[in-house]
Amino acid sequence: MKNKLQTIREEFFEKLKQAQNAEHLREIELKYLSRKGELSSVMHNLKDLSLDLKKELGELANNIKKELEHSFEETKKIIGLQADNKFIDITIPGEKVKRGHLNPITIIQREMEDLFTSLGFIIADGPELESDYFNFTALNIPPLHPARDMQDTFYVDIKNQEDSFDLVMRTHTSPVQIRTMKKFGAPLKAVIPGRCFRNEATDARHEHTFYQFEGIMIAENINFANLKSLLEIVGKKLFGPQTKLRMRPKFYPFVEPGNNGEYTCFLCEGQGCRVCKNTGWLEIVGAGLIHPNVLRAGGIDPEKYSGLAFGFGLTRLAMLKYGINDVRLFNSGDLKFLEQL
């Protein structure tokens, strides 16, 4: 029995040396120290021995038990401390958290929204699947008007027993001009960022899905000078204080007069380079004074109020700003494209 006690002791210390965590400790405790453990069962058997032997071995067993329990507690403390230390060791480098990326269009959109809200504009929104009426007719483009050809799109026919009407994937953000006028009346200052769709033969510069950034300002006596100064502010904000604006006539049915706004190229500052195709100018915004028919469709009296409107190609802005040379990358779903920023 003496041998048995020695063996238990040796085994115990061997195991304890190897113990590395709480789980190992629990196993050791169960096997050697618990009420059903090996030490207890040896002590239990002492009762059958002679008095002398019982005394001698009993003392030995008790000493061993104390020794083992003491060592066990010590080891437990050390392992506990190690676990704690690991938890609070502030010198261990943190794990790198992987962050998402904002789409380049989102970045430009937010920049524009910040500028316009600081000028007192509200941000308005409208549906991407739009009625033919809001997308064309209310914007002074009646059915069969040739201007519809410039903006061919995806038509969705809804037919049921009572009704039949045309929906289109909106070709520009301009239908939200009408929606916003109807909702808020005049005076009104609003910008409208959003996704638009056209039937395009896609290439590096044409895409069926793209973003615009529209704006309207309606009050008494809004004139062309207001439009020009506003677009100048935007140009300087986007491309720097040296930026110049020029406005050239262009026909849009919903403005009169209508024009194309062009800024001096931010890269060559008007000298001519690859980005501006050697013209020195970047064509970015369509604009004009809101046509009286459009104000009327929005429920606003054109005798009392006048307004300005402009529409930026947001996708085009992002392409220029970030030097993206193929518009199709935006819809490609290619993470390598997005993770560059």
The residues binding ligand PHE (CB under 6 A) are 172, 174, 214, 252, 255, 258, 286-288, 309-311
Residue nearest to ligand PHE (CB): 311
Please state the closest distance from residue 172 (CB atom) to ligand PHE, in A: 3
Alpha carbon distance 74, 174 (integer Å): 77
Report the residue number, 171 or 264, with the smaller CB distance to ligand PHE. 171
Please state the closest distance from residue 198 (CB atom) to ligand PHE, in A: 9
Report the residue number, 40 or 226, with the smaller CB distance to ligand PHE. 226
Report the residue number, 174 or 315, with the smaller CB distance to ligand PHE. 174
Report the residue number, 5 or 191, with the smaller CB distance to ligand PHE. 191
Degrees, nearest 5: CA angle 290-296-300 = 85
Please state the closest distance from residue 111 (CB atom) to ligand PHE, in A: 19
Distances (CA, A) of 152 to 8, 49, 172, 201: 90, 106, 11, 11
Q: What are phi and psi of 333, to 5 degrees?
A: 70, 15
Please state the closest distance from residue 340 (CB atom) to ligand PHE, in A: 28
Runs of H (alpha helix) within the chain: 2-18, 22-28, 38-45, 51-88, 104-118, 132-135, 175-184, 224-239, 292-297, 314-322, 335-338
CB atoms within 10 A of CB 153: 21
| Beta carbons within 8 Å of 33's beta carbon, 6+ residues apart | 39, 65, 68, 69, 72
Report the residue number, 5 or 284, with the smaller CB distance to ligand PHE. 284
Please state the closest distance from residue 216 (CB atom) to ligand PHE, in A: 8
Please state the closest distance from residue 306 (CB atom) to ligand PHE, in A: 14
Report the residue number, 76 or 296, with the smaller CB distance to ligand PHE. 296
- CA 126, 130, 194, 139 torsion: positive or negative? negative
CB atoms within 10 A of CB 62: 12
Alpha carbon distance 300, 9 (integer Å): 98
Report the residue number, 32 or 211, with the smaller CB distance to ligand PHE. 211
DSSP 93: P
Residues facing 188 on adjacent strands: 218
Please state the closest distance from residue 285 (CB atom) to ligand PHE, in A: 8
